[in-house]
Amino acid sequence: MGIVNIGYTTITCEECKKTVTYLATSEQEELTKPENAWVRATARLVQNLVPAPGQQRPSTHLYCGDECEVKATATGVHNVPEPKKIISGVASAAQVEQAAAAAKAAEEATKALRAGAPVKLG
- Domain ranges in the chain are 8-81, 82-122
Amino acid identity of residue 87, one-letter, is I
Instruction: Provide the percentage of residues in the chain whose pLDDT is more than 70.
Output: 96
Q: pTM for the whole thing?
A: 0.58
Q: For residue range 26-58, list pLDDT tens digits in order.
A: 989 999 999 999 998 999 988 888 887 888 888
Amino acid identity of residue 4, one-letter, is V
Q: Is the pLDDT of residue 63 over 70?
A: yes
> b/e per residue, 81-106, with b = 16+ CB within 10 A?
eeeeeeeeeeeeeeeeeeeeeeeeee
Would you state the pLDDT for residue 21? 93
Report the half-sphere exposure of 50 (CA within 13 A, side-chain side): 4
What's 33's DSSP letter? S
Q: How many Å apart are CA 96 and CA 93, to the nearest integer?
A: 5
